[in-house]
Chain A
């Protein structure tokens, strides 16, 4: 199973750009990289997913270097409501038993 490493916590201020990096040194050829966001007392929800280079949606951007051994979730101009735990997952969707959540990164946005 691909293992991921993320910082345990990060602090930021409103309006700043936040970058959370995830290391996945043993990523396999078929693996995708997926990020989830979880607010207190709620289940995680999907934010963004990518395989290589850059992916952008209305919520975030995901940067993946050529070697794919890491990825960076970028949240532009965060607000207090972005305070949450962010999880990076790496896995092969063709193998149902392949995806695992780690401990995640707890992002705290301050006024």
Chain B
């Protein structure tokens, strides 16, 4: 089974702090994603990466950055946390299969509260 783990289930930070959310997958997947989920808005894509050291902006990248130094690890960074970044953060990974549809495998999520 694919396993996607996230470093914390719950996190409380103060406004202005730098926050690191870590995600690790154990299936050698090429693609990794960071989403945030807010009530009534579904999942919104922040950033994704299709290879080591590669990153692409999603729909809401402002206020976030990412790092992918190793294939299995994808980090989301909040440079200066703000209260409007209080949310559930979900990491996902997927393999790349030429000519076939991919499915995404999600971690359990990190619920971040910024005070």
Q: Residues of A at under 8 Å CB distance from B?
A: 32, 34, 36, 41-46, 49, 51, 87, 93-94, 96-97, 99-104
Contacts and interface: CB of A to CB of B under 8 A. Distances in A.
A49 B109 contact: no
Contacts of B48: 96-97
Given A34-B103, A96-B50, A101 B109 contact: no
A83 B7 CA distance: 28
A49 B43 CA distance: 19
Given A93-B100, A93-B101, A97-B48, A44 B106 contact: yes
15 contacts: A34-B103, A41-B109, A42-B108, A42-B109, A43-B91, A43-B106, A43-B107, A46-B104, A87-B42, A93-B100, A94-B98, A97-B48, A97-B56, A99-B104, A101-B43
Interface residues of B, number: 32
B31 A96 contact: yes
Interface string B14-26: 0000000000000
Interface in B35-57: 35, 40-45, 48, 50, 56
Contacts of B101: 32, 34, 49, 51, 93
* Most central of B50, B58, B103, B108 by chain A CB within 10 Å: B103
Closest 4 CB pairs of A and B: A43-B106, A101-B43, A32-B101, A103-B42
Nearest to B109: A43
Contacts of B105: 45-46
B41 to A, nearest CB: 7
A26 B56 CA distance: 24
B47 to A, nearest CB: 11
Given A49-B103, A96-B48, A101 B40 contact: no
